[in-house]
Amino acid sequence: MRPTPTWLVTEFHDEDDLGVVKTGKEAQINLIERHGHDGRTCVFARKRYLPREVKQKGELEALGVQRSSAFVHDVQYREGRQFRKSRDRRAVERMSTYGKRLLQDRWMGHEHEVMTRLWHAGLSVPYPIAYDGNVFDLEYVGDDERAAPQLHAARLRAEQLPAAFDQLVDGLHVIVAEGYAHGDLSAYNVLWWDDRVWFIDFPQAVDIAANPSGIDFLHRDVLNVCGWFSHRGLDVDGEEVFADVLRSL
Ligand SMILES: Nc1ncnc2c1ncn2[C@@H]1O[C@H](COP(=O)(O)OP(=O)(O)OP(=O)(O)O)[C@@H](O)[C@H]1O
Ligand SMILES: [Mg+2]
């Protein structure tokens, strides 16, 4: 177990929302400043999922960003993998609004759980601070001026590519050694900051042993990122990297 990062303020009296860092297709990231009892402050990212299939603006507002946490208590769902009540399962099957909320809750709990495992295993992932059934707080990668760019937008110089690639492969080994496939790995879900890669966005990560498609997801992840690097002129063979990474399983 790695010790809790020292920058994190845990005893606090107030939090300010400094604004939106990024709104993606599936989630919105805000920057939060926390004020500690001891006078220290820290800044971190707060991730809220936008409901997947809900497109109407009114519904988005009701469920998404300004959503209250009332439904979470209603659901009594924590971090388990089962829906505890058959009413919940039926709601998901029907994909009622209530069901969509349940799924959101499940994705976030899962993302927090996977990132916690991987952070402790030493992977370069933002430190997962807490998941409260409503929002997921995690380390912010960036500085006062800008959030870390996604790898595809980071304008790496040719001489930086080999080091970035090595870090990525090292990271893949850690992920696989913990038994996971990221499931959506690409140059969009890797950040580049201070000459370092950061893996993000794990809600769809799968347990390779438990999921029959786990190896296929891993294969796709590896080919995706290798393709990105070879497109930029690096001599990489995706299948070779895949075989290498599998040795960590
Ligand atoms: N911890 C972080 N620090 C800085 N920026 C972050 C952090 N987490 C996410 N971001 C930014 O927010 C974007 C969206 O986050 P994430 O990939 O986790 O959600 P998403 O559901 O995949 O959204 P999208 O549909 O845009 O990919 C990231 O691509 C990244 O630019
Ligand atoms: Mg993403």
What confidence tens digit (pLDDT) does each residue in 159-215 have?
999 999 999 999 999 999 999 999 999 999 999 999 999 999 999 999 999 999 999
Q: Are 178 and 210 in contact (CB under 8 A)?
A: no
**Taking 90 as the threshold, does the pLDDT of residue 38 lie above it?**
yes
Pick the ligand that lies closest to the CA of residue 203.
Answer: 1
Identify the bridge partners of residue 14 per DSSP, sorted by sequence position.
Answer: 35
Between CA 6 and CA 221 the distance in angstroms is 33
0.75 exceeded by pTM: yes
Shortest-distance Cα residue to atom 11 of ligand 1: 22
What is the pLDDT confidence band of residue 54, given thresholds at 50, 70 and 90?
A: very low
- Tell whether the model's pLDDT for residue 26 goes beyond 60: yes
Give ranges for CATH 1.10.510.10 in the chain: 151-246
User: Distance (Å, rounded) from C-alpha 70 to C-alpha 53?
Assistant: 21
Ligand 1 centroid to residue 87 C-alpha, Å: 32
Please state the rounded mean pLDDT for residues 237-248. Answer: 98
CA-nearest residue, atom 27 of ligand 1: 24
- Could you tell me which CATH number the domain at 151-246 has? 1.10.510.10
Q: pLDDT for 72-84, tens place per residue?
A: 333 333 333 444 5
What pLDDT was estimated at residue 85? 58
Question: Which residues are in the CB-under-5-Å shell of ion ligand 2?
Answer: 189, 201
- If one residue of 191, 199, 224 were mutated to test the ligand 1 pocket, choosing by the most ligand atoms within 8 A of its CB, it would be 191
Say if ligand 1 is within 6 A of residue 184 CB. Answer: no
Task: Identify the residue whose C-alpha is closest to ligand 1 atom 10.
Answer: 29
Confidence at 25, pLDDT banded by 50, 70, 90: confident
* The pLDDT value given to residue 109: 87
Residue with the smallest CA separation from ligand 1 atom 2 is 140
- Please indicate whether residue 187, judged by its CB atom, sits closer than 6 Å to ligand 1: no
Distance 208 CA to ligand 2 centre (A): 21
Sheet holding 27-36: strands in order across? Answer: 12-23, 27-36, 41-49, 136-139, 128-131
Residues 99-142 have pLDDT tens digits of 666 666 667 789 999 999 999 999 999 999 999 887 999 999 99
Ligand 1 pocket: which of 8, 25, 28, 29 to mutate (most atoms <8 Å of CB)? 29
The pLDDT, as a whole number, for residue 77 is 32
Average pLDDT over residues 228-244: 98
